[in-house]
Homo-oligomer: A and B are copies of this chain.
């Protein structure tokens, strides 16, 4: 039976990189004989919002829930729709309603990509950020009081649950255990954020008892960001709350020079609902429409999608394909962000033709 994949390009460069993501998915499907059925949707974009006054149709949940995976581009167009409206109306709905409680983001130094860090070589940096993806600091509880006056106050509650925290920690410990170094780093801030974060530390320690093979350490988020820059080789699997994970999974790719090409997976590990795969980069209004966005973030996310659907070999082939193109370093094919003069489409085609 075919596996069904919903294609949601979204906004800005999302609409430019998605065709290349699809091109490579289809090439991989042909080569490995996979039965994938792709269906495209125009919602979860600011264009849709401008037309319909909401980011998603009323029946989006029903429409999407039986897909095997969602392949998303990027969302946000602050010139016409405020970010908190577009994001809370789309991506953050998907994450919550489809209980995609793991956000998994690899940080890896790739061949042919210039790292902003001095003296680092491919192989030096290779870790995962496992981010809690449904609760924590991204809460919808709170509000304003004495609005518009000098006494105005604004409150927002961070809400962490044992249910929500333990399942992420479990995933992170298991991922760490499956890797050669078996090392887990917890991002905390228990010295300053003194209610939720000491509790987070306790849960990390409690879960650790089940995984004696895994070596655990922890850093406060401030010095942890510093260590990403100073000692990126220290890390293997890093587990973090929603906000800390958000920060670390932009900073990590930045340290490997791959912020424009980094992928991410929003996973519902039980498979009750579809998981969602999207590049880490956003809609990039500054370069949208120019046809020069790097499609590797989308393509690499497609590889994570294939792996999630059980097609390990195809996933590896996609990664090999873009690594080969990067290593080759043909400037006519590479996009400007990685030192070339090529277009989104040229790079997408070059990668697809390797498959």
Contact = CB atoms under 8 A, between A and B. Distances in A.
B142 A151 contact: no
Main secondary structure of the interface of A (DSSP, over half): mixed
A87 interface: yes
A255 interface: yes
Interface in A188-245: 189-199, 221-223, 225-227, 229-230, 242-243
B259 A230 contact: yes
A76 interface: yes
A156 B154 contact: no
A40 interface: no
A159 B163 contact: no
A222 B195 contact: no
A309 interface: no
Copies in the complex: 2
A92 to B, nearest CB: 7
A251 B225 contact: yes
Interface of A: 76, 82-84, 86-88, 92, 114-119, 137-140, 142-144, 149-163, 189-199, 221-223, 225-227, 229-230, 242-243, 246-247, 249-251, 253-255, 259, 282
Given A223-B250, A226-B259, A196 B87 contact: no
Contact of A249 (B88, B118, B197, B222): B222
A208 to B, nearest CB: 17
Nearest to A160: B154
10 contacts: A83-B191, A84-B194, A84-B197, A84-B198, A117-B118, A144-B195, A157-B158, A189-B246, A192-B243, A227-B254
